A = this chain, B = another copy of it.
Amino acid sequence: MYKNQRNLMSEKVSSRKQQVRAEDVARHAGVSRVSVSRTFTPGASVSAATRAKVLKSAEILGYRVNRLASSLNRSESGIVALIAAEIDTPHRSAMIAELSDKLQAAGKVTMLINTSGYEERVKDALLQAISFRTEAAIILSGAPDPSLADTCFSNGMKLVLINREEDFPGSLQIGPDNRAAGKTALKALLRAGCKRIALANSANATWSILERQKGFVDAAEEAGVEVLSEVGGLTSYQAGLELGTALLDREDRPDGIFCTTDLIACGVIDAARQRFGLRTPDDLSVIGFDDIAQAEWEGYDLTTFAQPTDQIIEKCLEWCTTERPDTETVKLPAKFVWRNSVQKARIPLK
């Protein structure tokens, strides 16, 4: 009996935070605690009368079901971990915005884990996700140590790697078809009549960015075209500035540049305009990747590839709600977005 009215002694001494419990609501409404629980459990059997009483008392007392406690019991936390680095980057933040929005619409709650900085944080992030019995972990940054996969699965956690393809059994690996996009980029530059074709890439590129590069270079080799490669810096606007400057400073100045990222592309365009007085598309054709908001800005008007974000997210959600799925790798076509940073000849590419 004394269990129901809280230990008064410890209440005096410790500063234990007061919470409104189902018990309190039950007493206030003059019903049993289970009735309160049932009122807030969809599909449970409660009479309309008690339900009304409970709802009213809950309203008055400011009661909300403690989902930590309920998760404990039902072993479904409703939490999904979003593990990402550099979340203030345009493309990344757009992805996170979409993901969190859709997760929420699906009744899930997103736990954001920032892993910028040293790479070890990805491991810590996963461990943290496990601690909170996250239903799934969606990883947007570098992949973690594969040895952790077992721990994840033994706790019933789903795993999704976006834009990474690594040996991580039991996970969904999803992203755009980067190679195909690189190939398309080369074709587009060729059809635009570019004679000296270049590639601008970051020095610490991720796997998916390297794939774009590979697709571009392979296609060039196939077509018997030489590619001037400039690689350096981070995957950032500043790197684009430097890469652009280096490329445009050459004797054999390129007239068509594929940048593995929109940020780099913006840097290249600015280098051309501000430092060399060159304009796109008249003097220089530039193609990017990601279709960030700035690509649409009038100062850039960048031809680029849009990541199939909607489809990626849709598949993610499906994966997270499916029971014990097998390993799966999904490549979705990136949509080529024609704007005005590539010389005339807007011949549609199939």
Q: With contacts A68-B71, A237-B297 known, is A93 near B104, CB below 8 A?
A: no
Minimum CB–CB distance for A200 against chain B, Å? 16
Contact indicator A132/B109 (Cβ below 8 Å): yes
Cα distance A114–B101 in the bound complex, in angstroms: 6
Chain B, Cβ-Cβ closest to A75: B17
Q: With contacts A65-B131, A72-B69, A100-B87 known, is A112 near B114, CB below 8 A?
A: no
State the oligomeric state as a number of copies: 2
Contact indicator A114/B127 (Cβ below 8 Å): no
What range describes how many residues of A lie at the interface? 35 or more
Minimum CB–CB distance for A286 against chain B, Å? 13
Is A45 an interface position by the 8 A CB rule? Answer: no
Q: With contacts A66-B131, A77-B68, A96-B88 known, is A293 near B104, CB below 8 A?
A: no
Chain B, Cβ-Cβ closest to A132: B67
Is A26 an interface position by the 8 A CB rule? Answer: no
Q: Identify the A interface with B (CB < 8 A).
A: 15-20, 61-62, 64-69, 71-72, 75-77, 79, 82, 86-90, 93-94, 96-97, 100-101, 104, 109-114, 116-117, 127-128, 130-133, 150-151, 154-156, 237, 241, 266-267, 269-271, 273-275, 293-294, 297-299, 323
